Structure 1
Amino acid sequence: MVSSSGSPRVDAESDFMRARRHQVLSSLAARLTGGTEDVVQSMSFDEVVDALGRRGEHYVGTKVIPLDAIVGSVDKVRDFDRRFRPTSAVSRQRWERLARASRTGEVIPPIDVYQIGDYYFVRDGHHRVSVARSLRVTLIEARVTAIETFLAPVGIEARAALELKFWRRLMLQRVPFTGEARAAVAVDEPSMYGEIAEAAEAWATRTMHAEGAYMDRDTMAARWYAEEFRPVVDMIEEAGVRGDDERPAEAYVRVACERYRLIREHEWNAEVLEAVKKGKKKRT
């Protein structure tokens, strides 16, 4: 607990002013250091679920959770920052009333949260979380509903990461890679996931036409990786046209696009890669 003056009312007012001051300073520091407000802005539950894909949910029950794991909100993203400090004085009276109640030992009801992996998002109880953090409490009682997602809920702290997750999810729903392929087909540029999905679907269409047989999406993903992606990546490595910091999937997309731009065909051979090399040299 923080220090006390002996007057719950005065202390609650000081608690609020301190929380507001820290929020303003954190936001200002993020701007002055050239960073983004991702480090201080509360995460949006809807944005995270949209990026990862929602598969289902189940009620976990009431349990004690760490306050540090509460990182976002369902509907009050703009009212509190990432550490649940108030971003304005709009609800100051309510905040201070809860602070007084907490300081005088009144029973505070559990909050309601959604859980996504190791992260929690507040459905109800934003002010209770804010006051508890201001008073340096580390744990809080919560009614928890767990959300199951299509993608693993890891590495989602920044909005740029959410955009990448969103496009990766769309690709995997179109081309359901598994195992080694799922791990290997990864890029850092969101738009490339759309290009990979289109490449796999186009390859499957040509293959089905040539073989006169239907191919479902699971088969398409497995065969495209084994018969197209992996051999081509090996050719790119051998030809020395992969960039130093380029992921295999990024190299595949770049070279495949350049191949078609230069030659207007979908075959892969040494002549194709030689043309890609020459085309690259001409542009540089």
Structure 2
Amino acid sequence: MDTKRRARHGTVQEREMQTEGGNGGARDMRNQARSEVERARLTADVHDLLNAVVRAPNELIPFEWVRHLHPDAEFQRGTQAIPTASIVGSVDRYKEFDRYYLPKEPHLDERWIGVRAAQLQGKELPPIQVYKVGELYFVKDGNHRVSVARRQGQAYIDAQVIELHVTVPPEPGDTLKDLIIKGEYADFLRATHLDELMPEHHAILFTTPGRYDRLAEHIQTRKYYLDRKYSRDVPIDEATCSWYVRLYARVVEQIRTHDVLSRFPGRTEADLYLWIMDHRYFLTQRYGFDVGSELAALDFSKHHAPPVYQRLTQRMKMLVRRR
């Protein structure tokens, strides 16, 4: 039996329990399952308290949020063994389990107990049904089976998979805001074709929605500059590539060279790009000449980085949320 099959069918001890016959054995298994679900709910309560302290989410991702990523194709992938750790959301039961798929409400107990008791008896459980988005999964049917599997440390579970194609996939821990931003990024890529023109481009992700319109303005400004420089109507694709190579990628390189991002925990290179370009304009207006992006990056880092204590606090919050 291979690793995935062992992971799907429980431990050796549980398989040995299948030999216990009669109603007494079945009652013992249900009692064991009842004890386990009560402990699971208690653990979920502890998670709620801990996450409330650090203001971190402790919920599954609602599948409806995926619409913000603008899926553009659907594929039936058949039955597969999928990693339980990659199941992060649910179609309609996302309020009933925490982010670790622990049950949160007592009314879930009987269904949970039934699934766990069947598992202890060695019964073959049907595959769950999931949507796959990127490398993450959202449960369409089988939430209790996932909860039991995760609680038992089961690494894989059989699932009928429907895959949705998205341009920018979600990641574990994404919030609604993150998905909205990624949807905006997908729209930006479709409008500019940057992912086709520059397949190896750095991912451009912000921490605040509504920023990609600014990038589109930068591209149009770059086109205007090139039109005047070459006395011709420069194609927008050419202007997009020029903007990326001569402006965006250059600023990102300077951010990395001078380790500017480390002074702004919780922010991204894209955030800093816009701030540095705005700061460059400010300094140019102050001094009467273009100071360049490198000086602007260094000056912005020196005068606008958060105090050290704020940076430490932000890093601690980030570590807790990633645990």
**Secondary structure of the corresponding residue to residue 78 of structure 2:** strand
Whether the 8 Å CA contact 1:48–1:156 is kept in 2: the answer is no
Q: CA deviation at 1:184?
A: 7.1
Aligned to 1:31: 52
| TM-score (structure 2 length as normaliser) | 0.66
- Paired with 1:36 and 1:163, the residues of 2 have a C-alpha distance of 18
Q: CA deviation at 1:110?
A: 0.8
- Paired with 2:186 and 2:111, the residues of 1 have a C-alpha distance of 40
- Paired with 1:251 and 1:214, the residues of 2 have a C-alpha distance of 28
Q: CA deviation at 1:93?
A: 2.6
Aligned to 1:41: 59
C-alpha distance 100-185 of structure 1, shift in aligned 2 (>3 A): closer
Counterparts of 1:229-248 in structure 2, within 5 Å, are 229=248, 245=263
- Paired with 1:260 and 1:228, the residues of 2 have a C-alpha distance of 13
- Paired with 2:125 and 2:262, the residues of 1 have a C-alpha distance of 56
Q: Which residue of 129, 152, 157 maps to 2:173?
A: 157
Q: CA deviation at 1:54?
A: 1.9
Cα root mean square deviation, aligned: 4.0
Q: CA deviation at 1:47?
A: 2.5
Q: CA deviation at 1:223?
A: 2.7
Aligned to 2:105: 88
Structure 1, unaligned runs of 5 or more: none
Q: Which residue of 218, 221, 240 maps to 2:240?
A: 221
- Paired with 2:76 and 2:83, the residues of 1 have a C-alpha distance of 18
After superposition, what is the alpha-carbon deviation per residue over 1:98-124, rounded to whole angstroms, capped at 9, x for unaligned? 233222233321100112333221111
Q: CA deviation at 1:214?
A: 6.2
Aligned to 1:115: 132
Aligned residues: 268
C-alpha distance 120-251 of structure 1, shift in aligned 2 (>3 A): closer
- Paired with 2:81 and 2:251, the residues of 1 have a C-alpha distance of 51
Aligned to 1:13: 34
- Paired with 2:179 and 2:201, the residues of 1 have a C-alpha distance of 18
Q: CA deviation at 1:136?
A: 3.9
Counterparts of 1:1-284 in structure 2, within 5 Å, are 6=25, 7=27, 8-32=29-53, 34-37=54-57, 40-48=58-66, 50-51=68-69, 53-153=70-170, 155-159=171-175, 161-178=178-195, 179=198, 182-183=201-202, 190-205=209-224, 207-208=226-227, 211=231, 213=233, 215-216=235-236, 218-226=237-245, 228-229=247-248, 245=263, 250=271, 252-258=273-279, 260=281, 271-273=289-291
Letter of the 2:163 counterpart: A
C-alpha distance 223-17 of structure 1, shift in aligned 2 (>3 A): same
**Secondary structure of the corresponding residue to residue 79 of structure 2:** strand
Letter of the 1:213 counterpart: D
Aligned to 2:318: none
Letter of the 2:91 counterpart: V
**Secondary structure of the corresponding residue to residue 151 of structure 1:** coil
Structure 2, unaligned runs of 5 or more: 1-10, 18-23, 305-323
Letter of the 2:47 counterpart: S
- Paired with 2:270 and 2:209, the residues of 1 have a C-alpha distance of 12
Whether the 8 Å CA contact 2:252–2:269 is kept in 1: the answer is yes
Letter of the 1:126 counterpart: N
Letter of the 2:149 counterpart: A
Whether the 8 Å CA contact 2:136–2:172 is kept in 1: the answer is no
| TM-score (structure 1 length as normaliser) | 0.73
Letter of the 1:215 counterpart: P
- Paired with 1:9 and 1:236, the residues of 2 have a C-alpha distance of 58
C-alpha distance 273-251 of structure 1, shift in aligned 2 (>3 A): farther
Q: CA deviation at 1:88?
A: 1.1
After superposition, what is the alpha-carbon deviation per residue over 1:185-225, rounded to whole angstroms, capped at 9, x for unaligned? 55555554432222213433565588453624x33311322
After superposition, what is the alpha-carbon deviation per residue over 1:52-101, rounded to whole angstroms, capped at 9, x for unaligned? x4232211111222222222212221111122111212333322232332
Whether the 8 Å CA contact 2:61–2:89 is kept in 1: the answer is yes
Letter of the 1:90 counterpart: H
Q: Tell me which stretches of 4 or more aligned residues in structure 1 moved more than 6 Å.
A: 2-5, 231-237
- Paired with 1:234 and 1:191, the residues of 2 have a C-alpha distance of 24
C-alpha distance 54-219 of structure 1, shift in aligned 2 (>3 A): farther
Q: CA deviation at 1:261?
A: 5.6
Letter of the 1:157 counterpart: G
